[in-house]
């Protein structure tokens, strides 16, 4: 009974829970509105609009057929035509659409309209999901309700910048429609090019709806510029007119480069009838937003083709913007579904805004506009979208905040090349692989690293067919004014004419080392460079080189050729080529003869080294005496003679004049090592003394830059040189000490000196000083170069010719032509300018010969150890035989000792045993080797004789 009651209770509880769940579900379903309306805002009669309308209608139908989305709520769409007009799109279409209480708007298509309608959307809290407005400025937080469902122009401009960098172009001309869309894209292009060290050199803006004549006039002015790389950023409906005008001007031929943004793929490649425009766009590169192939994409293209019976192929009825429009509807549907399904959600209501009202007599009907009360919640759901559509993986990344504008992740583009009657893909671009011939990874694989880039060397593209049918990469620029010769400024020098000067006999009117280098470099360029040389200066004195460089910066000269130093203040206003000769500031002063003092012979060595040499002489002499004393009669004799021998041998060996011969092996070894040390020391002494005496003959009061700065004497520098301002501003030399001199006055000013109204030294660049010293032997350079620079040719900033000439100069240096030109002009005079440095010779110290003395000392110690070990061995033999003889004599006299009553007294008077041994050792050491050997043999023979005698005198032990 109890069990049956419990079962019944459990069943009732289960039924109660089931009813509760069903009731909640019915309430939730009842809470969802039966219909939700979204708007769609675009130009019906446009390339993008025609594709978008079909795609949006199919998307709405697909959403309503899918039972997993909206859960019984029907999605309806209201189309509004902007009529390709900013005014109509904003005032008429935009406001009329908002009056219909839409919860979201798919659009607008135009960036111009999006800027205005976004303000309305902010006020009414209606999210805008734009599938075609790509102006980067719309990503501003000023438009929180604007959500871009397509990649903005920043990414395709980064792709174009990588293409420009890949081919090594430095300047481009931007041709763009003069509205928010065009201006925003060009700003993004300039930013992207700046990161690759390129720039937009000219901006050719044309008004919206410009006719062919207006476009031709604008392109004609752009054609006068140097750049031949044109970036066209226009709308799909009018952009083709740009290429038609360019073809009429002869600008679609070899030497020109045309790159179009993704509008061209939309207007002429994806749209029907593209073949009719192919003749105007041969060789053009264009971008197309990359959408990976999928079954959903193929199905949609097939359905769009079936919906448009006039279409010839499956892709002609839709372009990539149509695909993004299709996904935008699904994005709105998913967001509305999540919004309606939230707890407490599902309420869609609109209310009046008291701040919006019609003015007196106004017929705009502003009071009919209603605010979407749940617009902020729906916007949050939109920004959290994360699904896979026909364009790939749809996901947003944000800057900050819930309402911040987001951009789609993983932007990718195809780079297409128009050729013949079709196009071919030459590369892909994505923000994490950059240029590549391989397709980007699936966009749903995850967000790439934000700073992931590849180097220029890693980026790849297939071969491109350029305008004119050529496959050779265009140079990208020409000389301005259609090949007018470059005006080259040349300094009109009055001195050192070997470098550059006026020459009436030359066809160019100028000649010199610098001019020849320039002509040789230009001859190596793969294209002709017409030039016209113009002298700069009055011919009375050398011109100011800073003024010459400024003339180039101001556009008065196209370039400057001459002995122009590359210094910091000049590089700020012009570009220099690779230096073609090294240059640095040098100090030149007068040579003063001075005689050596009477103690000059001691200066090669330091006192420590002299003391060490003397000490080693005595030490080696003593070692040789020890080693030879027992073998060599020349090292024996009275004490006075032996001391003289030691000192004589020591010092005479310094000059290899020793007369004593060494006979022992250790002695010869020590002498050989010592003579090796003596040889090196004497040779070093001779070289050092020669250097000291020579340097003293060339010594001056100024030994380098520090001495020059410490003095108060006048300093000369060349007229027009930067040396004066450098010494004044960088080195702190007072302006009163500086004297601007003509190079012809150098010699006279140096000879007169500071007290005669001249200068103490001249500071000028190395090439000038080498030429000056080659014919003025009484002057010399002092110290080293205290700046490092070079001479180069000056061009306006970002001039591509500067880069090409730098490569040519390097080629001249590598093949030896640069040196041959130098030798032809600058090897004059009779003085040796390469060995004119003045400086003090360094004295040799003990550190320089420490190793030699160590080797010699170790050799002496080893020889002494071997010698003393040998002596001790002989001494032990000598003592052993001597001790045996002494013991025999003591045994014979034992009886006499007993009878001798004074034996104890004599023993007490004997010396200690240790003192006796030391005295015997010293006596033994002083003995000759031959005498020692005879004594040992003699005593050894006596010992053996006594042993035999003792044996014969002993009693017989044999039995009787």
User: pLDDT, tens digit, for every residue of 95-126?
Assistant: 788 888 899 999 898 898 898 889 889 989 99
What number of helices (H) and strands (E) belong to the chain? 31, 33
What is the Cα 252 distance to its own chain's centre? 38
Could you tell me the sign of the dihedral formed by the alpha carbons of 433, 438, 440, 442, in that order? negative
Continuous segment of H or E residues that includes residue 419: strand 412-419
CB 102 within 8 A of CB 77: no
Name the residue among 517, 461, 405, 488 with its Cα closest to residue 142. 405
Q: How far apart are CA 436 and CA 428, in angstroms?
A: 5
State yes or no: pLDDT of 665 exceeds 90: no
Q: Could you tell me the pLDDT band of residue 548, with boundaries at 50, 70 and 90?
A: very high
Q: For the residues 675-687, what does the mean pLDDT come to? A: 78
pLDDT at 848 (0 to 100):
66
The reply to whether 131 and 207 lie within a common domain is no
The reply to whether 186 and 282 lie within a common domain is yes
Top pLDDT among 632 and 754 is at 754
| Strand 257-260 relative to strand 229-233, pairing | parallel
State yes or no: pLDDT of 810 exceeds 90: yes
CB 255 within 8 A of CB 225: no
pLDDT at 88 (0 to 100):
62
State yes or no: pLDDT of 309 exceeds 60: no
Q: How far apart are CA 935 and CA 361, in angstroms?
A: 152
CB 426 within 8 A of CB 415: yes
State yes or no: pLDDT of 808 exceeds 90: yes
The reply to whether 259 and 340 lie within a common domain is no
Q: Could you tell me the pLDDT band of residue 798, with boundaries at 50, 70 and 90?
A: confident
State yes or no: pLDDT of 157 exceeds 90: yes
Could you tell me the sign of the dihedral formed by the alpha carbons of 569, 571, 577, 582, in that order? positive
The reply to whether 509 and 605 lie within a common domain is no
Lowest mean pLDDT, pick from 54-68, 356-370, 600-614: 356-370
The reply to whether 68 and 144 lie within a common domain is yes
State yes or no: pLDDT of 357 exceeds 80: no
The reply to whether 107 and 224 lie within a common domain is no
pLDDT in tens, 76-100: 999 988 887 666 666 766 778 888 8
The reply to whether 180 and 94 lie within a common domain is no
Lowest mean pLDDT, pick from 34-43, 85-94, 357-366, 827-836: 827-836
Q: What angle separates helix 320-341 from helix 47-65, to the nearest 10 degrees?
A: 40
CB 775 within 8 A of CB 784: no
The reply to whether 490 and 569 lie within a common domain is yes
| Secondary structure of 540-568 in HEC code, one letter for each residue | CCCCCHHHHHHHHHCCCCCEECCCCECCH
Query: Does residue 166 lie in a domain region?
Result: yes
Residue whose token pair is 């509807």: 329
Across the chain, what does the average pLDDT equal? Answer: 79
Can you read off the two tokens belonging to residue 70?
A: 């909206």
Name the residue among 449, 445, 415 with its Cα closest to residue 433. 449
pLDDT at 334 (0 to 100):
93
At 476 the three-state DSSP class reads coil
Query: Does residue 469 lie in a domain region?
Result: no
Query: Does residue 862 lie in a domain region?
Result: yes
State yes or no: pLDDT of 305 exceeds 50: yes
Q: What is the tally of structural domains in the chain? A: 5
What is the Cα 234 distance to its own chain's centre? 37
The reply to whether 155 and 281 lie within a common domain is yes
Range of the domain at 717: 586-591+698-787
State yes or no: pLDDT of 373 exceeds 60: yes
Q: Could you tell me the pLDDT band of residue 63, with boundaries at 50, 70 and 90?
A: very high
The reply to whether 202 and 288 lie within a common domain is yes
Query: What pTM, to 2 d.p., does this model score?
Result: 0.65
pLDDT in tens, 251-272: 999 999 999 999 998 888 876 5
Query: Does residue 7 lie in a domain region?
Result: no
At 362 the three-state DSSP class reads coil
State yes or no: pLDDT of 655 exceeds 80: no
State yes or no: pLDDT of 181 exceeds 60: yes
Can you read off the two tokens belonging to residue 627?
A: 């080693």
Lowest mean pLDDT, pick from 62-71, 296-305, 459-468, 659-668: 659-668
Highest mean pLDDT among 309-313, 553-557, 596-600: 553-557
Can you read off the two tokens belonging to residue 307?
A: 């919906």
Region of 541 (left: φ > 0; alpha: ψ -120 to 50; beta: rest) is: beta
Q: Could you tell me the pLDDT band of residue 443, with boundaries at 50, 70 and 90?
A: very low
Give the single-character DSSP code of 93: I
CB 717 within 8 A of CB 740: yes
- The strand ranges marked E within 216-365 are 229-233, 257-260, 285-289, 350-352
| Strand 738-741 relative to strand 789-791, pairing | unpaired
Residue whose token pair is 């932007």: 411
At 102 the three-state DSSP class reads coil
The CATH number covering residue 495 comes to: 3.40.190.10
Q: What are phi and psi of 542, to 5 degrees?
A: -60, 140
The reply to whether 282 and 426 lie within a common domain is yes
Query: Does residue 275 lie in a domain region?
Result: yes
Top pLDDT among 487 and 393 is at 487
Continuous segment of H or E residues that includes residue 40: strand 35-42
The CATH number covering residue 76 comes to: 3.40.50.2300
Query: Does residue 883 lie in a domain region?
Result: no
Query: Does residue 267 lie in a domain region?
Result: yes
The reply to whether 61 and 183 lie within a common domain is no
Query: Does residue 288 lie in a domain region?
Result: yes
pLDDT in tens, 187-212: 999 999 999 889 999 999 999 889 99
The CATH number covering residue 685 comes to: 1.10.287
Q: How far apart are CA 649 and CA 645, in angstroms?
A: 6
CB 182 within 8 A of CB 233: yes
CB 207 within 8 A of CB 178: yes
Continuous segment of H or E residues that includes residue 122: helix 111-124
């Amino acid at each position: 009974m109890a069990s049956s009651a419990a079962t019944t209770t459990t069943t009732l509880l289960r039924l109660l829970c089931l009813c509760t769940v069903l009731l909640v579900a019915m309430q939730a379903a009842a809470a969802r509105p039966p219909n939700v309306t979204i708007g769609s805002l675009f130009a019906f009669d446009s390339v993008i609009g025609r594709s978008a309308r079909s795609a949006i209608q199919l998307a709405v139908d697909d959403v309503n057929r899918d039972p997993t989305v909206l859960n019984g709520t029907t999605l309806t769409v209201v189309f509004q035509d902007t009529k390709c007009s900013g005014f109509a799109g904003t005032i008429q279409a935009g406001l009329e659409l908002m009056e219909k209480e839409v919860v979201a708007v798919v659009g607008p298509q135009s960036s111009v309209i999006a800027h205005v309608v976004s303000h309305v959307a902010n006020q009414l809290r209606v999210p805008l999901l734009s599938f075609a407005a790509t102006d980067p400025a719309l990503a501003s937080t000023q438009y929180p309700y604007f959500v871009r469902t397509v990649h903005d122009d920043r990414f395709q401009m980064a792709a174009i910048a990588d293409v420009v960098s890949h081919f090594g172009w430095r300047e481009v001309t931007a041709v763009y429609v003069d509205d928010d869309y065009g201006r925003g894209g060009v700003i993004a292009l300039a930013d992207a090019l700046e990161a690759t060290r390129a720039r937009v050199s000219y901006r050719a803006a044309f008004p919206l709806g410009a006719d062919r004549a207006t476009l031709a006039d604008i392109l004609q002015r752009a054609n006068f510029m140097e750049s031949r790389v044109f970036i066209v950023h226009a709308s799909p409906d009018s952009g083709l007119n740009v290429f038609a005008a360019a073809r009429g001007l002869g600008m679609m031929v070899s030497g020109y480069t045309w790159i179009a943004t993704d509008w061209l793929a939309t207007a002429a490649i994806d749209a029907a009838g593209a073949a009719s425009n192919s003749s105007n766009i041969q060789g053009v590169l264009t971008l197309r937003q990359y959408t990976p192939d999928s079954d959903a994409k193929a199905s949609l293209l097939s359905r769009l083709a079936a919906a448009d019976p006039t279409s010839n192929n499956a892709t002609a009825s839709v372009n990539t913007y149509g695909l993004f429009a299709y996904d935008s509807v699904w994005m709105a549907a998913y967001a509305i579904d999540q919004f309606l399904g939230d707890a407490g959600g599902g309420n869609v209501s609109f209310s009046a805004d008291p701040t919006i009202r019609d003015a007196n007599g106004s017929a705009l009907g502003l009071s009919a506009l209603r605010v979407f009360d749940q617009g902020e919640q729906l916007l949050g759901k939109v920004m959290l979208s994360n699904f896979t559509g026909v364009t790939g993986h749809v996901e947003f990344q944000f800057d900050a905040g819930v309402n911040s504008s987001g951009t789609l992740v993983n932007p990718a583009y195809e780079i297409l090349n128009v050729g013949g009657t079709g196009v071919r893909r030459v590369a892909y671009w994505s923000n994490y692989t950059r240029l590549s011939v391989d397709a980007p990874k699936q966009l749903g694989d995850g967000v790439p690293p934000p700073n992931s880039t590849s180097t220029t060397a890693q980026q790849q593209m297939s071969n491109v067919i350029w305008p004119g049918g050529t496959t050779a990469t265009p140079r990208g620029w020409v000389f301005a004014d259609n090949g007018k010769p470059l005006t080259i400024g040349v300094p009109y020098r009055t001195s050192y004419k070997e470098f550059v000067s006026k020459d009436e006999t030359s066809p160019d009117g100028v000649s010199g080392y610098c001019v020849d280098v320039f002509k040789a470099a230009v001859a190596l360029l793969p294209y002709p460079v017409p030039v016209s040389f113009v002298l700069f200066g009055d011919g009375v004195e050398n011109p100011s080189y800073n003024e010459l460089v400024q003339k180039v910066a101001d556009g008065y000269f196209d370039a400057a050729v001459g002995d122009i130093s590359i210094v910091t203040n000049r590089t700020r206003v012009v570009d220099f080529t690779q230096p073609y000769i090294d240059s640095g500031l040098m100090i030149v002063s007068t040579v003063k003869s001075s005689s050596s003092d009477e103690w000059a012979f001691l200066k090669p060595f330091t006192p420590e080294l002299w003391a060490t040499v003397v000490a080693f002489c005595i030490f080696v002499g003593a070692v040789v005496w020890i080693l030879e004393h027992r073998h060599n009669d020349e090292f024996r004799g009275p004490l006075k003679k032996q001391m003289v021998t030691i000192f004589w041998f020591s010092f005479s060996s310094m000059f290899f004049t020793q007369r004593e011969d060494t006979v022992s092996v250790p002695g010869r070894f020590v002498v050989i090592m010592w003579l090796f040390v003596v040889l090196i020391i004497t040779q070093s002494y001779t070289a050092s003394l020669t250097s000291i005496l020579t340097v003293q003959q060339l010594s001056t009061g100024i030994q380098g830059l520090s001495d020059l700065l410490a003095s108060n004497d006048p300093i000369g520098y060349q007229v027009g040189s930067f040396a004066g301002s450098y010494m004044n501003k960088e080195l702190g030399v007072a302006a009163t000490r500086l004297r601007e001199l003509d190079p012809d006055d150098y010699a006279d000013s140096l000879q007169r000196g500071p007290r005669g109204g001249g200068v103490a030294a001249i500071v000028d660049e190395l090439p000038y000083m080498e030429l000056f010293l080659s014919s003025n032997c009484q002057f010399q350079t002092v110290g080293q170069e205290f700046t490092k620079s070079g001479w180069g040719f000056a061009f306006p900033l970002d001039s591509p010719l500067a880069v090409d000439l730098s490569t040519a100069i390097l080629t001249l240096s590598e093949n030896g032509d640069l040196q041959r030109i130098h030798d032809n002009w600058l090897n004059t005079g009779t003085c040796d300018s390469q060995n004119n440095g003045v400086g003090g010779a360094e004295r040799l110290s003990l550190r320089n010969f420490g190793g030699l003395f160590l080797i010699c000392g170790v050799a002496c110690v080893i020889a002494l150890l071997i010698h003393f070990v040998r002596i001790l061995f002989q001494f032990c033999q000598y003592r052993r035989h001597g001790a045996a003889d002494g013991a025999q004599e003591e045994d014979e006299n034992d009886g006499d000792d007993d009878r001798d009553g004074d034996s104890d007294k004599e023993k007490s008077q004997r010396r200690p045993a240790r003192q006796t041994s030391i005295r015997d050792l010293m006596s033994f050491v002083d003995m000759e080797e031959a005498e020692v050997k005879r004594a040992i043999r003699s005593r050894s023979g006596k010992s053996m004789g006594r042993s035999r005698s003792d044996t014969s005198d002993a009693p017989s032990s044999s039995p009787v």
